[in-house]
């Protein structure tokens, strides 16, 4: 679907375009001015982004963060990427969402799953460290 916006087949309120990326307003904004930043190439999740695109992509995300905050007079912002779970569009997109103090957003990260004797922090860290070494 975002490929169709990139191709110009579907309309969108574009705020930035360059050879590799497009940024446009989310059509169902959490708050007005909610921006989506997408690579033009069809990639699904963050880890699909080629290493040489990561820097430019996140540099642009930083610029958009400042532009959304400064341009809209927001107190802050939320940057979010869903990978597979909660990802309703299977084309990598980074959300830049303006936030205001007491804006009423109910954003609850929970329930939490504490470590215990059977599930130690060390065993989880070991698995991640091994995957980092293998990857």
Q: Is 42 a catalytic residue?
A: no
How many CB atoms lie under 10 A from the CB of residue 91?
20
Q: Which residue in 16, 42, 91, 93 is the catalytic one?
A: 93
| CB of 104 or CB of 121, closer to ligand DGP | 104
Binding mask 1-40 for ligand DGP (x = CB under 6 A): x--------x-x-----------xxxxx-------x----
Q: Under rule CB under 6 A, which residues in 43-82 are in contact with ligand DGP?
A: 82
Q: Under rule CB under 6 A, which residues in 77-106 are in contact with ligand DGP?
A: 82, 86-89
CB of 94 to ligand DGP, least distance (A): 9
Q: Which residues bind ligand DGP (CB under 6 A)?
A: 1, 10, 12, 24-28, 36, 82, 86-89
Catalytic site residues?
93
């Amino acid at each position: 679907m975002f490929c169709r916006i990139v191709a110009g087949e579907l309309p969108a309120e574009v705020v930035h375009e360059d050879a590799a990326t497009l940024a446009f307003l989310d059509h169902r904004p959490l708050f007005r001015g909610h921006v989506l930043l997408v690579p033009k190439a069809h990639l699904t999740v963050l880890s699909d982004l080629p290493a040489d695109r990561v820097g430019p992509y996140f540099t642009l995300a930083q610029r958009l963060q400042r532009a959304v905050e400064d341009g809209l007079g927001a107190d802050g912002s939320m940057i979010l990427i869903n990978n597979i779970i909660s990802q309703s569009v299977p084309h990598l997109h980074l959300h830049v969402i303006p936030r205001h103090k007491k804006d009423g957003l109910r954003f609850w990260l929970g329930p939490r799953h504490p470590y215990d004797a059977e599930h130690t922090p060390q065993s989880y860290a070991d698995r991640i460290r091994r995957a980092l070494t293998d990857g």
